[in-house]
Amino acid sequence: MDSATLSARLLAWYARRRRDLPWRRDVNPYRVWISEVMLQQTRVEAVRPFYERWLARFPDVAALAVAEEEEVLRYWAGLGYYRRARMLHAAARRVVAAGGELPRSRAGWRELPGVGEYTSAAIASIAFGEAVPVVDGNVKRLAARFLALELAADDRALHRKAEEWAGQLVVAAPAPGDLNQALMELGATVCTPRAADCEHCPLVGACASTGGDPLARPLPTRRPRWREVRLEHRLARRDGRVLLVQCRESGWTPGLWEPPRLAVGEDRSGLIPLGTVRHVISRHRIEATAFLDPGWDGSGGVDPERVPLSGLGRKLLGLLDRA
């Protein structure tokens, strides 16, 4: 089956089956940019409320550019991978300093901080109709199954093959942005990592895995090594203010806020155990035990509503609320 026929099938399927997502209702370059960055390594359903809240506060690139970094991080808090927010902010400031017009091509987007191969292609394709392929994990999975490639998901060769395959489909499509979204949507809803609903797939019959075992591809990747971490934190509240410190620039969540850690050997007399929370970040599995300090005098207290909290910090303050 030729690329034009496959593209037509995908576009027809996408028109019928695409999910109603907020960033698909009003397609403009700024909104596409924000959604694509938020969706990196984050589930769609988790992004929805953050996206809508972000746009209410930063409706365009100018509003984002003039904001303070701490406020930007506060509106990002909960999405993780905070470098994404910092790069968004830096890129917005660069755009405004250059006159305020967002780039119109993949090459132009690549010149902005934090905008890589995937994001630049997605924005140029969806917002401006540039015929460039967008390759994410969904597209690589589709390529591996459609072409029967004996390659692992993290193999760079699979990325190249997927880019070539998607590129042929995009060039043959009258709407490159919709074609790219159709491929990603198909991988997210029909040909998923743990299931393949071939009966409802627009590529059935043309796919090399039809009638076989599509779940056998891509080949398994090596499991990442996790590091187990145990921490102890001091919690205190007085007159609506909480004891918080800003995380180090060299840490997991630089610039965010959370209750201070207790050092090994630090005096814990007078502190009351509150409980334990678990948190996962950057290949670290954290078990954090909280201790209440009832004698805290309130010095250096922070209003937790006015600073960006780390994910671990929010969980720890949850223990304080319940106490």
Amino acid letter, residue 155: D
Token representation of residue 171? 């060039």
Say which residue the tokens 């698909």 belong to: 24
Residue among 36, 163, 185, 232 flagged as catalytic: 36
Any catalytic annotation for residue 266? no
Q: Is 91 left (phi over 0), alpha (psi -120 to 50) or beta?
A: alpha
Contact 144, 191 (CB under 8 A): no
Q: For residue 243, give both structure tokens.
A: 């004891």
Strands (E) in the chain, as ranges, are 227-235, 237-238, 241-242, 245-246, 257-258, 272-281, 284-292
Q: What sign results for the dihedral spanned by CA atoms 131, 133, 138, 139?
A: positive
Going by C-alpha positions, the residue among 255, 229, 236 that lies closest to residue 86 is 255
Chain position carrying tokens 């970040």 = 281
Residues 6 or more apart from 209 whose CB is under 8 A from it?
Answer: 145, 146, 148, 196, 198, 217
Distance of CA 295 to the CA centre of its chain: 40
Which 8-state DSSP code applies to residue 254?
Answer: T
User: Which residues are the active-site residues?
Assistant: 36
